[in-house]
Structure 1
Amino acid sequence: MADDAGLEIQLCSERFGSGAARGCRAVADGSLQWEAEERRWFSGAFTVKPRGRNGGGGGTPGTASLPLSGLQAVFLPQGFPDSVSPDYLSYQLWDSVQAFASSLSGSLATQAVLLGIGVGNAKASVSAATATWLVKDSTGMLGRIVFAWWKGSQLDCNAKQWRLFADILNDMAMFLEITAPIYPICFTLIICTSNLAKCIVSVAGGATRAALTMHQARRNNMADVAAKDSSQETLVNLAGLLVSLLMLPLVSHWPSVTLGCFFLLTALHIYANYRAVRAIVMETLNEGRLRLVLEHFLQRGEVLSPTSANQMEPLWTGFWPFLSLSLGVPLHHLVSSVLELQQLTEGHQEPYLLHWDQSRNQVKVVLSQTAGPETVLRAATHGLLLRALQGDGPLPGVLEELRNQVRAGPKKDSWAIVKETHHVLDKLFPKFLKGLQDAGWKTEKHHLEVDEWRATWLPSPEKKVL
């Protein structure tokens, strides 16, 4: 179809993913002609310029269309970039750099271990080498089980911190392997220690990788994102293997050169890991991010965006807890009498009970059976608010008065302060929660560390005593 002036009319259009749309026009003879698209690397599809018209009369094809760029189809999730988080590309680029550096360092470490076991030494005993290898592996297996039991529940809450910790520990393990042949008497002990560290790395690294993959997948495509991440890592390791084949013959007879290369690669590895982890923008709150956002809110009355809070979040606190805040503790740890239970439950109707130990600056929270994500978030906010009373940052008027009472001696009763902060939160928390949601935080879920204890209690236990 064409108008009276003989101009082409656009009848429809189409696009692949987030690529540029192209239109279909009717020309004078009634055939259809598709517009050509500019070929771009990260567009979902690209086309080349049309060679003819495609219409109802059996005309020649209008375009030669390719659904995906070859490398993009192999190494990036389907629907990229819309199917993944905005931080996906920057993280994966730095992650590839660190994987390449780690692959080269691993080659140097493997060479040192084989040398220490006796490969190439005619006097070396096969049985002794086998026994050393078995002891090394068994030590690592036990360490993997113990570490998963000890710290497994914290890996989701502080995925970025544990990810960085795992990579630094891996560098330390490889350093031990490189230095092991220098001390043949302690060789077995050194490589067992190294393998123990590497097994911890495998648990922490694998678990945090899964947590980050879940964050990156935005279309219920976690399996696709994980599979493409594996493909990227395989390609990088293959490149590292080829470079290692060229590098090892040059440095194998020079221990000082080997160590120099290792330290350079380790520096690159740690820097790339830091940049990769810093590029991640988590939209859920853990204790560290909640603390930063709450402090900013109390001081300036506004909520930090996820991007800003993630840039400020400390990355070196994964192994030891940064805050003395315990959520989901058992009720019998806090109360031993009716009076203490009355003090905990009096004056508020929230489905959690909070105890504050001023001397140790510890906050323990008992959660009700009905406590949901919003209740847990309020309880954590309450605990951090109490800790802020012992800090030095500016606070709103009512909280500043409470701080002065806390600092005055003798100390005001902790139960009374907890009760007063409950009333403060009744007004403060709804504004804070709305600010979180408006700023882009996901408040329907969280990454706060919560134990499994839940409790029920009567609203007024003192009446039952009477």
Structure 2
Amino acid sequence: MAEGRGLAVTLCSERFGSGTARGCRAAADGGLQWEAGAWRWWGLSGAFSVKPAGRDGGRGGTPGAASSPLSGLLAVFLPQGFPDSVSPDYLPYQLWDSVQAFASSLSGALATQAVLLGIGVGDAKASVSAATATWLVKDSTGMLGRIIFAWWKGSKLDCNAKQWRLFADILNDVAMFLEIMAPVLPICFTITVCTSNLAKCIVSVAGGATRAALTMHQARRNNMADVSAKDSSQETLVNLAGLLVSLLMLPLVSDCPSVSLGCFFFLTALHIYANYRAVRALVMETLNEGRLWLILKHFLQKGEVLSPTSANQMEPLWTDQVQVVLSQTAGPETVLRAATHGLVLGALRGDGPLPGELEELRNQMWAGPEKDSWAIVKETHQVLDKLFPKFLKGLQDAGWKTEKHQLEVDEWRATWPLSPEKKML
């Protein structure tokens, strides 16, 4: 574009996420024309000199001006590109997660004080070797528990990340309660603190594994490392605040066990409530058994597929299991269909309306002579041939990710001969 005797050319424009920025382009006299807006302009003027504007979103702003303190703070504790680079449930989850971490930090300070008192810190008669032995036994018990729990439940933590996350935090509160009560019964002190540390090690395995699963859900731009690192920074800041408050709180309650216990119960209640709200804030778009059952039940009764937000709000925090056998070639869609088939069989024994053919089959089950179980499986399989394609399309249209799932599937696979009818095909 020509302006006066000079030339101003706009080469390209750039925007930092969904935030706002100042843009510029080269003016005819070789200067810069700054433009407010969400875009960043690059201009060419004079002897091919490029004059770019500064970035926004915690990366700069007006040229020559420092970014605001708030922008700098957000850049330190939030993933790059926030909020577009994370899932929509990121902020409410992290807020409640910070509240629970703060309450847990204060409770942990009370529990640590009780353990130190129990092993004899401040007692001139206490034996250093006895205290050391107690500490080593406690740590050894926890290490063994960590290995055993990871072997026992490690492959199942992804399937019900929210449930295991809530379980881990409640178990952590139980462990801290045991530590607080340990000095009350000195004869059982070693057993009590060993049990407590065993529970805490289980918490670390379950909490760490589910945190990784939730980070994978929240990271939307292949930025798991950034989301995880910023989550760690947030937790460190909250724990630092908890440490400072603990330094003020402990001298006030250390001489009064009843007040200390009362503070612990209040903080535990806050911790559990904040964890519940954090878990409820999560909106997972992948299907596990609990969410699949809710969606299928609603679909069978009303012919509609629940959205991820609605299903997550209704998801039970404890679930049952459906047992199916998978073939060697079973992929994600086959696994989803098999789980749906199993849940349909369960729906036949429940209450509530069902689509025509399933309702007829349920009436036959209860009104007539008892049918063979495999006959029921075969008939529901035929119904599912018509029902599942519509159900699958409804899931995809509602925003569910059906190319992957969080159904509890192990590595066992089966092979079986084809029926005569399929051999003929």
Contact 2:107–2:268 (8 Å) recurs in 1 = yes
Name 1:20's counterpart in structure 2: 20
Equivalent position SS for 2:325: strand
Higher alpha-carbon deviation: 9-18 or 242-251: 9-18
Q: Which runs of 5+ in 2 are unaligned?
A: 39-55
Pick one of 320, 334, 352 that aligns with 1:323.
320
Q: Which amino acid aligns with 2:385?
A: D
Among all aligned residue pairs of Structure 1 and Structure 2, give the percentage whose two residues are the same amino acid: 85
Corresponding position: 1:433 with 2:392: yes
Other-structure match for 1:289: 291
Structure 1 position 456, deviation (Å)? 2.1
Paired amino acid for 2:173: D
1:254-265 alignment, distance < 5 Å: 254-265=256-267
**Does the aligned pair in 1 maintain the 2:3–2:27 contact within 8 Å?**
no
The 8 Å contact of residues 142 and 198 in structure 2, kept in 1 or not, is answered as: yes
1:462: Cα distance to partner? Answer: 10
Alpha-carbon distance in structure 2 between the residues aligned to 1:37 and 1:132: 64
| Aligned residue number for residue 442 of structure 1 | 401
Q: State the partner residue of 2:371.
A: 412
The 10-residue stretch of structure 1 (99-108 or 186-195) with the greater mean CA deviation from structure 2: 186-195
Q: 1:384-432 deviations in whole A, cap 9, x for unaligned?
A: 0000000001101111111111223531111111111111111100000
1:30-429 aligned within 5 A: 31-36=31-36, 44-45=57-58, 64=65, 66=67, 69-315=71-317, 317=318, 322-326=319-323, 365-429=324-388
Q: 2-side partners of 1:65 and 1:246: how far apart? A: 36
Find the aligned partners of 1:410 and 1:257 in 2 and give their Cα distance: 66
Runs of 5+ in structure 1 lacking a partner? 50-61, 327-364
Number of residue pairs matched by the alignment: 402
**Structure 1 residue 36 displacement after superposition:** 3.9
Contact 1:115 1:181 in 2 (8 A): yes
* TM norm structure 2: 0.89
SS of residue in 2 equivalent to 1:35: strand
Deviation at 1:455, TM superposition (A): 2.0
**Structure 2 counterpart of 1:237, one-letter code:** N
DSSP-derived class of the 1:367 partner: coil
- SS for the counterpart of 2:245 is helix
Shift of 1:27: 5.2
Contact in 2 for aligned 1:283/1:306 (Cα 8 Å): yes
**In the alignment, what sits opposite 2:48?**
none
* Cα deviation code 1:128-164 (max 9, x no counterpart): 1111111111111111111111111110000000000
Q: For residue 24 of structure 2, give the secondary structure of its aligned residue in structure 1.
A: strand
Contact 2:21 2:36 in 1 (8 A): no
Measure the CA separation in 1 of the matches of 2:161 and 2:61.
44
Aligned to 1:342: none
Identify the residue that residue 57 of structure 1 maps to in structure 2: none
1:81-122 deviation digits (Å, cap 9, x = unpaired) = 111111111111111111011000000000000000000001
Given that residues 17 and 79 in structure 1 are in contact (C-alpha distance below 8 angstroms), is that contact kept between their aligned partners in structure 2? yes
CA distance in 2, matches of 1:386, 1:92: 39
- C-alpha distance in 2 between matches for 1:323 and 1:235: 38
Q: Which moved more, 1:422-431 or 1:127-136?
A: 127-136
Offset of residue 324 of structure 1: 3.4
Letter in 1 for 2:113: Q
Secondary structure at the residue paired with 1:325? coil
Are the equivalent residues in 2 in contact too, given 1:11–1:24 (CA < 8 A)?
Answer: no
Distance across 1 between alignment mates of 2:21 and 2:388: 45
- Sort the Cα spacing of 1:210 and 1:47 in 2 relative to 1 into closer, same or farther, 3 A: closer
Query: What displacement does 1:29 show?
Result: 4.2
Taking a change above 3 Å as real, the CA distance of residues 158 and 313 of structure 1, as seen in their structure-2 partners, is same
User: Match of 1:366, SS?
Assistant: coil
- The answer as to whether partners of 1:10 and 1:23 remain within 8 angstroms in 2 is no
> Does structure 2 conserve the Cα–Cα contact (< 8 Å) formed by 1:11 and 1:23?
no
Equivalent position of 1:346 in the other structure? none
Q: How far apart, in 2, do the equivalents of 1:183 and 1:63 lie?
A: 66
* Deviates further, 135-144 or 300-309: 135-144
State the 1:31 CA deviation. Answer: 3.4
Instruction: For 1:447 and 1:246, locate their aligned partners in 2 and report how far apart those are by CA, in whole Å.
Output: 44
Give the whole-Å Cα distance in 2 for the aligned partners of 1:434 and 1:3. 56
Give CA deviations for 1:148-199 in whole Å, capped at 9, x if unaligned.
1111111000000000010011001101111111111111111111111111
Which residue identity lines up with residue 158 of structure 1 in the other structure? N
Contact kept, 8 Å, 1:15 with 1:22, in 2: the verdict is no
SS in 1 for 2:122: coil
CA 244–368 in structure 1, closer or farther in 2 if over 3 Å, else same? same
